[in-house]
Amino acid sequence: MTPPLWQHQQAELASHGHVPYRGIFWEQGTGKTRLALETAALLRARGDIDATLVITKNGLHRMWANDECPLYLPEAQPYYYDGGRASNVEHRTLMADALAADFPLLAMSYDSFMTDHGLKVADQMAKRRRLLLVVDEASAIKNAGAQRTKRLVPWAKKAPFRRALTGTPITKNPFNLYPIIKFLDEGYWKLHGFSEYSIFKHYFGQWEEHINKLVGKRYERLAEDAEGRPIYRHLDELTKLVQPITTRVLKDDVLDLPPKSYTKRYFRLTERQRRVYDTLKRETVAFLENGEAIDGQLAVVRLTRFSQITSNYAPVDAQLSLVPVKKDDTLRTIDDENPRMTALFDVLEETEGPCIIWARWVRDIEAIAAKLGSRCVAYYGDVSDDDREVAKNKFQAGAVQFFVGNPQAAGFGLTLTAAHTVVYYNNSFNLEDRLQSEDRAHRGGLQHPVLYVDIVAEDTVDDYILKTLRNNLEVAAVVNGDRLKEWI
């Protein structure tokens, strides 16, 4: 059964669901994805649209098609554009089906939209259908000079209805707001006296002329105050200026959110990671087909190897041995590119307020903490008791935004109720670790809801492990030889 709309969703849908253009600047977890899908249903019922095109970040396009659309827009036929299979005959047939469907929802990534074939599919849909165009994680087009912005913003006028979704407080940097509003309504800024971007940026920022001494070239640079912060101007005026075309909601603004809500962020393994994963898969399947009996605990040992690969690690030995994982196991990095880490920082870019990041392995915690620098504290086995206490207190007091730890060390007993968001970089297979780590942010007396985000590798064990844990089941109790073959 589809859960009822929240009050703020109902209010926005009633007041602005029918309008051509709207910026949904709602914090993560406040329901902007569902609002967009309910808007599609409303516009279709009015006869205004007969298709929806969603453009979002890698991984999220699959979530829109597979998870969100079936739940909140069941009358639509969901499809997602798979950039890795764009030349595949079967995939091209699927895209043709999407164009011909009664009420299709097609989700694609920004990267796919930038390809010739992805753009062709979008063009065909815009030509044949009356579109609601949704750009999700709209901070992806915040840079006025970026190629994706230059392509997508002018293209948007092919869709009579448009929605821009983001949780990022973009008005803290007024220049990020310019292309997003222009995506919604190409003439909006001109109507309000800003016919050119240069006029806009000089009105809302203080600029200084500098000289590049190496080449003797003059250029403008945003001025900074005595503490090194950029100097913006007229931000209150800007907020009022965009109010007619946008809506802003924070978790603390609404009282009807559930105490806990969950979402996923998908990513795709690199080609090298996929080769290593498939090699281990073939080895495991051959092992099982030899008639070897595998109980839950032994299956977990096998699963650990797959989970390591999705986190960009593999054993040093070329044979990818299935021996149990030990503390002294030596792992190597599979690829210089780590899409799991990229997916994490995409989430963090959209995250406001205090956030906990749980990771299974110490090397992940250290890598995440190194990238976050002074914005985080770390909490794991090698951190001393005194430093752990300092880390907890700094996070609870708001001195840092991020708390990075593993559930084994920090998942029990700690109070981390400052957190509004909890991200699982990867999951262990221990149900108690999951439940206890969730409750660090959600304890008695909590006055705000908490959003839980899981980073998930497409077409891997990740989804099966997560479903098992979310169903309050112990992985070792439900996986055996037959189930292991299904999961991998």
Torsion angle (degrees, nearest 10) of CA 470, 473, 474, 477: -140
183 touches 155 (CB < 8 A): no
* Beta strands, E only, 197-282: 207-212, 217-222, 246-249, 260-267
106-115, 321-330, 359-368: range with lowest mean pLDDT = 321-330
Residue 158 pLDDT greater than 50, yes or no:
yes
- 56-107, pLDDT tens digit by residue? 988 788 889 988 999 999 999 999 998 888 888 999 999 999 999 999 999 9
Look at residue 289 and tell me whether its pLDDT is greater than 80: no
Structure tokens at 71: 């739940």
Does the pLDDT at position 413 exceed 80? no
Same-fold call for 7-253 versus 258-488:
yes
pLDDT, tens digit, 9 for 90 and up, residues 415-461: 788 898 999 999 988 888 888 888 888 765 566 788 999 999 999 99
User: Which of 20-34, 71-85, 146-160, 214-228 is predicted least confidently?
Assistant: 214-228
The pLDDT of 280-294, averaged and rounded, is 77
Checking if the pLDDT of 247 tops 70, the result is yes
* pTM (two decimals): 0.74
Q: Rg of the Cα trace of the chain? A: 24
Output the pLDDT for position 95.
94
The predicted pLDDT at position 191 comes to 95
Q: Kindly list the domain boundaries of the chain, sorted by start residue.
A: 7-253, 258-488
Averaged pLDDT, 384-397: 88
Burial label, 119 (beta-carbon count in 10 A; 0-12, 13-18, 19+): middle
pLDDT (0 to 100) of residue 286: 80
Architecture of domain 7-253: 3-Layer(aba) Sandwich (3.40)
For residue range 309-355, what is the model confidence (pLDDT) as tens digits? Answer: 999 988 765 444 434 444 445 678 899 999 999 999 999 988 888 99
H or E, element range at 99: helix 89-100
- The fraction of the chain above a pLDDT of 70, given in percent, is 91
CATH 3.40.50.880 fits 258-488, yes or no: no
β-pairing, 104-109 vs 51-56, is parallel
Q: What is the structure's pLDDT at 193? A: 94
| pLDDT attached to residue 293 | 63
pLDDT tens digits along 465-474: 898 888 888 7
Mean pLDDT of the chain: 87
Residues 166/25, Cβ–Cβ less than 8 Å: yes
Spatial neighbors of 469 by CB under 8 A, at least 6 apart, are 427, 429, 431, 434, 475
Nearest to 358 by CA among 451, 438, 429, 413: 438
Quote the pLDDT of residue 302.
81
pLDDT at res. 330 = 67
Between the alpha carbon of residue 421 and those of residues 97, 229, 381, 410, 433, the distances in Å are: 38, 26, 23, 16, 17
Q: DSSP letter string over 297-355? A: HHHHHHHHHHHHHHTTEEESSTT---PPP-TT--EEE--S--HHHHHHHHHHHT--S-E
